[in-house]
Structure 1
Amino acid sequence: MGENLQTGERLRPIDLARGHGLSTQAVRNYEEAGILPAATRSAHGYRAYTPLHARALRTFLALAPGHGHRTATAIMRAVNEGATDEALRLVDESHVQLLDDRRTLQAVERALRDLEPADAPEPDGVTFIGPLAHRLGIRPATLRKWEGAGLLRPRRDPDTGYRVYDPADVRDARLVRQLRRGGHPLEQIGPLLDQVRTAGGLEPLEGALRDWHRRLSARGRAMLGGAAELEAYLRARE
């Protein structure tokens, strides 16, 4: 190893904790989780860390914002166990997930560009499957198919068992109809509806998409920072 764990400067748990804005208990927890290599112990049982432990801690804290706590932990544990290929595979999986999220965002934005203005204001009350299908110019079976795909979530009348569509359900059904007419597959429509529901409607969605862009960019940059620290840690262990 480039920095021997058993020699060199000795650091106490409080030294690592203060240097990274953590508690000494957090440092101990990270060691127990495998994020840090095992510390040596003094004759009285006190932990003794080295600069390599400090680098490991810095690496984990750099990885976590881009990869998440669980994956960052798994990456560090793999490195400390000598399973570098496994650590790099985990890094690759995170990048694949980020790319998938970017593609989902692009699909949502394309779908929104295809939307037509509403042909009429959404009703204030509720409606049932037959009237809604007639209004949209489709068959009731199509609405049931969209519900089966998880795109629509009408509630059921407790007495009759009939599907009941409130104004938000009608909005979602209209969106699905327009997007299907535009040739969008169901798997692209689902993420769009999730964004509409989270944003509280179409009008607030523009701000939600801007925030989505910012969060993806932040993750990408965090992954770059984490990669640099991980490479430095790997070199230090050689």
Structure 2
Amino acid sequence: MRQNPQTTGRLRPIDLARRHGLSTQAVRNYEAAGILPAAGRTAHGYRTYAPLHAHALAAFLALVPGHGHGAATSIMRAVNRDDPEEAFRIVDESHAQLLEDRRTLQAVERALRDLGPGAAPAPGAAPAPDDASSPGGMFVGPLAGKLGIGPATLRKWERAGLVTPSRDPRTGYRVYADTDVRDAGLAHQLRRGGYRLDQIAPLIAQVRAAGGLEPLAAALRDWHARLAARGRAMLAGAAELDAYLRHADDGP
């Protein structure tokens, strides 16, 4: 008669795999990657797992949505080599990144609330080198410095249509009006939020046309939802990781 793995404490690869809709190969791969502790072996060389492995697999799969596959793997490897301090450090880094992402979103929302009509470069503004400022706007150097990026990044954004600086008629130097500075700041914040250039360009185009927050409302709601989901997933991952640690402390 077949033994029930729940009562014997011995689990086969298929027992772990079925619980989570995985293949047995995936379970073996997780063991090889150090995500699961090493399996036991029968006299015939077949892998056998214990409830400890089930807790490890549950912890890893719960950590992935909040921390990402790479960080979740590193956390489990650290725990399995008996280095919980390293695991906690990685967890802390993920939480710090989530907090930074929340602050980035808040900065984007502040930038949008501060949207104004802007001003064109003053007629007859004195020419200045490409890294200087002008009463009619900013030149590439000061704007790049203000945003903490390189001038080459601003030129790349210009080619993508994110900023549209004018040119001094005598020197050809780029002049960024207030609206260009706004658009560059908005592009910078959205890039930090994980948006690609091809996603940012139509948003900025809509902001220019509408002059308000409405064009970005859906994107901001989605951004809030994604951050909330990550935070909730981190809580779920922490609970499963704690269960695994407690089970490991009690022995297999």
TM-score range, shorter chain: 0.7 to 0.9
Instruction: Give the number of aligned pairs.
Output: 206
TM-score (structure 1 length as normaliser): 0.74
> How far apart in 2 are the matches of 1:37 and 1:26?
14
> How far apart in 1 are the matches of 2:62 and 2:160?
46
Contact 1:37 1:53 in 2 (8 A): yes
* 1:40 matched residue in structure 2: 40
> How far apart in 1 are the matches of 2:182 and 2:14?
60
Cα 1:27–1:106 change in 2 (3 A) is same
Please give the secondary structure, in 2, of the residue aligned with 1:169. Answer: coil
Shift of 1:46: 0.7
* 2:212 matched residue in structure 1: none
**CA shift digits 1:61-115 (9 cap, x unpaired):** 0000000000000101111111011111111111000000000110111011111
**CA shift digits 1:183-206 (9 cap, x unpaired):** xxx7x8722466594242233422
Code of the residue aligned with 2:94 in structure 1: it is: S
* 2:155 matched residue in structure 1: 154
* 1:97 matched residue in structure 2: 97
Shift of 1:175: 3.9
TM-score (structure 2 length as normaliser): 0.70
* 1:87 matched residue in structure 2: 87
Show structure 1 runs of 4+ deviating over 3 A: 117-120, 144-148, 150-155, 164-168, 171-176, 192-197
> How far apart in 2 are the matches of 1:71 and 1:38?
20
Higher relative contact order (CA 8 A, sep 6+): 1
> How far apart in 2 are the matches of 1:236 and 1:60?
14
Cα 1:55–1:154 change in 2 (3 A) is same
**Equivalences for residues 196-215 of structure 1 within 5 A:** 197=197, 198-199=199-200, 200-202=202-204, 203=206, 204-215=215-226
* 1:170 matched residue in structure 2: 164
Code of the residue aligned with 1:79 in structure 2: it is: V
* Residue 191 of structure 1 pairs with residue 189 of structure 2: yes
Q: 1:143 aligns with which of 125, 140, 143?
A: 140
> How far apart in 1 are the matches of 2:196 and 2:48?
53
> How far apart in 1 are the matches of 2:67 and 2:160?
39
Structure 2, unmatched stretches of 5+, are 1-7, 121-127, 167-175, 207-214
Shift of 1:37: 0.4
Cα 1:232–1:63 change in 2 (3 A) is same
Contact 2:162 2:187 in 1 (8 A): no
> How far apart in 2 are the matches of 1:58 and 1:75?
13
Cα 1:59–1:107 change in 2 (3 A) is same
> How far apart in 1 are the matches of 2:217 and 2:118?
17
**Identity over aligned residues, as a percent?**
57
Code of the residue aligned with 1:177 in structure 2: it is: V
Q: After the TM superposition, which of the residue ranges 190-199 and 51-60 deviates more from structure 2?
A: 190-199
> How far apart in 1 are the matches of 2:103 and 2:140?
27
Contact 1:154 1:165 in 2 (8 A): yes
* Residue 221 of structure 1 pairs with residue 232 of structure 2: yes
Contact 1:108 1:189 in 2 (8 A): no
Structural RMSD (CA): 3.3
* 2:107 matched residue in structure 1: 107
